[in-house]
A = this chain, B = another copy of it.
Amino acid sequence: MIPDRPLEVLKAIVRDYIASKEPVGSKSLVERHSFGVSAATIRNDMAILEEEELIVAPHTSSGRVPTDKGYRMFVDQLSEVKPLSAAERAAIEGFLSKSSDLDETLGHTARLLSQLTNQVALVQYPSLGRASVRHIEIISIDELRLLLMLITDSGRIQQHVVEIPGGYEITDVEKLRNLLNESVEGKPLSEAAALIKGVGQKATAKIKQLSDRVLPELLLLVDANSQEKILLAGTSNLARRGDDFPGSISPVLEAIEEQVVLLKLISEMQADAHGVSLRIGRENNVDALLSTSVVVSGYENQGSEIAKVGVIGPTRMDYSSNIGAVLAVARYLTKSLGGSQ
């Protein structure tokens, strides 16, 4: 266990390092904070911290820098997150109230969060999981084309245009639609595929030709729905913080543009007591993200978490305010979804 003062020293080091980008030494520490002890004593404490691998010295004789483990201890000790300013709250309200459909809401959220934190924001689309089918719609666009729609209770709406052989009647389309809705409406997405196939069996000869074209496409929609998707915003914030990354930022950008990697990462992250979850540096288990941290929180619809929202930035980030912003935005997003969906 780490004694009290050394812990305070660690916190001070993290804070100073975040603020200054410079390795912090014993002398500047005693100057800026009033520990009531001398630099030499601080040095002893720092020796303890180094022993515990909470800090390291980049070169033999320079100040210390927190390790991933150090950051971890710091955030775990973080008793309270920095609350948003009134202006920031107002910005959130203003931004999110304007949104209409889900796409727009999530888009706004991502932009907002990236501006709030000056980091790269990520917003995960609600997907499969607990979602269920709210409605299936088939609209005739013209003689040869139908528009299929799949609406889920998470608010996600997907559509697809399908070409069909001519000569069907409008009532046939309606019949098929009703058949589909009767058997699928309200059912979880995970069961939808099987149920849709079931409809194919039941289809009368009359609408068989139609359903043969429509159902496979519908299955694709269901499948696409289960495909997770992440929205990014503020990528340029990474570039601005370029010097926080050893070498080039381009592998980092590549990694976060690679949806699969990110999705895997955030899906593994389980929220802690405060409703937030974060990975620091090597905790990501992704080489390219070795010097980045990820902060995410879940947002909900109808009482259960449907997806995640968060930020990604250099390990040397202001955890306190980023956590605050992510939490606030997640909360507002939940509220906003609950209201209009």
A interface residue numbers (CB < 8 A to B):
100-101, 134-135, 137, 139, 141-142, 147, 149, 151, 155, 157-161, 163, 217, 220, 234-236, 239-240, 242, 248-250, 253-254, 257, 340-341
Contact = CB atoms under 8 A, between A and B. Distances in A.
Contact of A159 (B101, B142, B257): B101
Contacts of A239: 239, 248-250, 253
Copy number in the complex reads: 2
Nearest to A237: B250
5 contacts: A135-B141, A139-B149, A159-B159, A163-B340, A236-B250
A242 B248 contact: yes
A255 B147 CA distance: 37
Contacts of A155: 161
Nearest to A136: B139
Contacts of A149: 139, 149
A151 B149 CA distance: 12
B240 A248 contact: yes
A141 B147 contact: no
Contacts of A253: 235-236, 239
Q: In the A-B complex, list the 9 residue pairs whose CB atoms are closest, starting with the nearest.
A: A236-B253, A239-B250, A240-B250, A236-B254, A100-B160, A101-B160, A239-B253, A235-B235, A137-B139
Nearest to A137: B139
Given A101-B159, A157-B159, A340-B161, A250 B242 contact: yes
B141 A151 contact: yes
Contacts of A163: 340
A279 to B, nearest CB: 21
Nearest to A339: B163
A236 B257 contact: yes
Nearest to A100: B160
Nearest to A162: B100
B157 A151 contact: no
Contacts of A151: 139, 141, 147
A160 B163 CA distance: 25
B141 A220 contact: no
A217 B101 CA distance: 11
A160 B236 CA distance: 31
Given A139-B135, A141-B134, A151-B147, A161 B236 contact: no
Contacts of A141: 134-135, 151
